[in-house]
Structure 1
């Protein structure tokens, strides 16, 4: 026999929104991670961690950013590194799960609130669809990480004279960091020591790309890989935009850095191609680097700013405004240039509500980056190109740096902490709030238009 749920509990369930859940969850885990990293056992003997550095590291790990103020391999003990790894896994898995569920809600395939209310009334879970969705994300995540960990472990063990235990830990740590697009590395120079190693560079790149595609795309490719005509508009946009941006980023880095004596210049031409591709992949929000970012040309930084700002796909471990948002704006521009009455993408018409959502996300993200860049310039007195790179990297949860992060004042580091947090949960929660709170009005006001351009 079931009993009705009290009105107060029903009201509480109605107030549970995805936005509140994700923000509160991230705040709670960030606090726990900061506390664990402050423990003496989290650092190697002779090292100490203050509150700001612990908070910065915990936020960067949970938001899968990769910006660091302390050397991950030499400052943190095995326990500290394990805490960072756990935060990376929780951050990547949590965002991927949340964004996937919200995507299903928007598409009308699930109604989480109604299912929760019904389950509460019936005193049963009643969330089979949701459970299977989460289990699918867990299985795919662990499978990709396990395969990559095995490849990296074998490579480190047989080619770099590491003991089995060290090779295994390096393999596991970097596989989790790569698939979750975190960019944390136990090597002081990130992946610069492996700039000419195609096995490590390609293995990391594949995992990063998969993590950046998002679970809905991976799931559809797994089920309908041989029938592209059945792919959704979302999958087509993500694959198309990812390929274009990866190729464009590779060509840009190669063209601008080919003769730079401090980056690609000394490398053999084949290693230059590998390094250019690897760095293009990282700029899409992963954060590893196989060449010295601080020695790059300012023009390259600017091009990477654009790539970082765009980021990866929704419902994945990447950050930024997302490739779908960028693609929607691009198709809107094309439609306007052609004088079309509607925006058509791959044979389907795009909803006008999506136009407004994409424009709102981009404008708010750009405003946040501009204001943060101005504030950081005021606090530090550093040049625009370096500060802009740092703020975009923090907002887009990339983790690449021109080398100024550790030397920033406390106020500057706290600003980056805020940017990382907003950049990780902000675009997802804002976009979902716009989509889920859409309502129809029963009237329309008279039309009028200003002069544009």
Structure 2
């Protein structure tokens, strides 16, 4: 720029806007990571304010960052006492953050654009599609039969907004009587009910009242409403969208909906049976309860280890075998494009169907009268490989830093990666260095292994040739 040339900020903003538009369309995955990282930084700043803490002191950076990461990534793990450390302003920040993180940053951005402009352009549809279907995040072609079609993205966004408001509102109304019967007054009940509704539907698991679920551990209605809210949040917005249109015509449900619901139900009851079998003699968890209470609490624990994050029993008192079962359930998580984390139930279903087809000697993987293409199977394998690698590396690093028992480290790491929120008590005692490692693990788990892989490979060029085939020995 010559000395006589005036600086034009408008031109710089135009270039920045053009670069941002190119990023959103060419690589929604990288844009998603950028948005999530920006939100984490913003909420870290808000939680670092003196007004956010109960004693009006500045929260240490490690605690503010970890809480912000756990909030935006709807995880529920915490390094501070959520009930006593934060002020009402801090609790309000957490409440807003979990709703933003639960809906998905890109979905929220698209919703705001839809509200402002009253229409959804192609760029906004591509952004939202990348949030509601991770397989779109690479920016390449996606078969429209795979999930919600691009032309239906606007309807899906409205479903996301309406389902969040309606479900959380209904859950809050249902919880108020139980909170009142637990001894709280009306102001506390009207403050706690929306919080529990948001924490359950977004599958976060924060308890912002002193004592957490202890006052409600024998209130089966309260716990059942929490379970239902967690279930609705974990099945995924595309499933809610289909059910809202075809609830009473299951024959018309697409394969994704069927696999999600069937696998979710199987894991829910299988997990409950496993916890009953392994914990019914453990006096620290279920051994002192009667048969009905043991059965119900096992169902509740199975639902919460999938992604809910709430707990009535002391997780640190679980047998090692039960911790392994819980870790497996957490690693799987909930449905795709949901508020839950993990590798997702459809990933497990595709892998299980692939193993079954191989055992039967079939050349294709089939379910409910449909054939699952090989590219979906490859993505399922990649998701599990990425997830297992992230968990293994984080476990090794945190175990080396803390020298804590490996079972406790592994449980909390998987809980962080799968954005569950259950803890053996280790997370609250982590040194700053280990807390940062776990925060990164939480971020990777929430952004998604498919999105991370797509972001890394977004600039890879298409291979225009194929090499000779040779088959190595496997197995």
Q: TM-score, normalised by structure 2?
A: 0.86
How many Å separate the matches in 2 of 1:101 and 1:310? 17
Deviations 1:245-282 (A, max 9, x none): 00011111111111111111111211111111111111
- Stretch of structure 1 that moved more, 302-311 or 263-272: 263-272
> Which residue does the alignment assign to 1:139?
162
> Which residue does the alignment assign to 2:21?
13
How many Å separate the matches in 1 of 2:322 and 2:473? 36
How many Å separate the matches in 2 of 1:433 and 1:220? 29
> Which residue does the alignment assign to 1:108?
144
> Which residue does the alignment assign to 1:124?
none
How many Å separate the matches in 2 of 1:390 and 1:419? 11
For the residue of structure 2 that corresponds to 1:137, the secondary structure is: helix
How many Å separate the matches in 1 of 2:135 and 2:251? 21
The offset of 1:205, in angstroms, is 0.3
Mapped contact 1:193–1:290 kept (Cα < 8 A): no
The offset of 1:428, in angstroms, is 4.7
Mapped contact 2:391–2:414 kept (Cα < 8 A): yes
> Which residue does the alignment assign to 1:343?
365
Mapped contact 2:182–2:216 kept (Cα < 8 A): no
The offset of 1:162, in angstroms, is 1.2
Mapped contact 2:36–2:105 kept (Cα < 8 A): no
Mapped contact 1:106–1:436 kept (Cα < 8 A): no
Pairwise CA RMSD: 2.6
How many Å separate the matches in 1 of 2:442 and 2:37? 12
Mapped contact 2:192–2:209 kept (Cα < 8 A): no
Mapped contact 1:192–1:291 kept (Cα < 8 A): no
> Which residue does the alignment assign to 1:448?
470
For the residue of structure 2 that corresponds to 1:37, the secondary structure is: helix
> Which residue does the alignment assign to 1:119?
none
Q: Which runs of 5+ in 2 are unaligned?
A: 1-13, 108-127
Mapped contact 1:196–1:274 kept (Cα < 8 A): no
The offset of 1:207, in angstroms, is 0.5
> Which residue does the alignment assign to 1:169?
191
- CA 38–265 in structure 1, closer or farther in 2 if over 3 Å, else same: same
Is 2:250 the counterpart of 1:242?
no
Is 2:47 the counterpart of 1:37?
yes
How many Å separate the matches in 2 of 1:109 and 1:358? 18
Q: TM-score, normalised by structure 1?
A: 0.90
Q: Which runs of 5+ in 1 are unaligned?
A: 1-5, 116-127
- CA 211–439 in structure 1, closer or farther in 2 if over 3 Å, else same: farther
**Total equivalences in the alignment:** 433
How many Å separate the matches in 2 of 1:75 and 1:222? 40
Mapped contact 2:444–2:452 kept (Cα < 8 A): no
The offset of 1:447, in angstroms, is 2.0
- CA 334–129 in structure 1, closer or farther in 2 if over 3 Å, else same: closer
The equivalent position to 2:403 in structure 1, one of 381, 393, 405, is 381
For the residue of structure 2 that corresponds to 1:285, the secondary structure is: helix
- CA 206–427 in structure 1, closer or farther in 2 if over 3 Å, else same: same
> Which residue does the alignment assign to 1:123?
none
> Which residue does the alignment assign to 2:65?
55
How many Å separate the matches in 2 of 1:181 and 1:67? 12
> Which residue does the alignment assign to 1:208?
230
Is 2:106 the counterpart of 1:74?
no
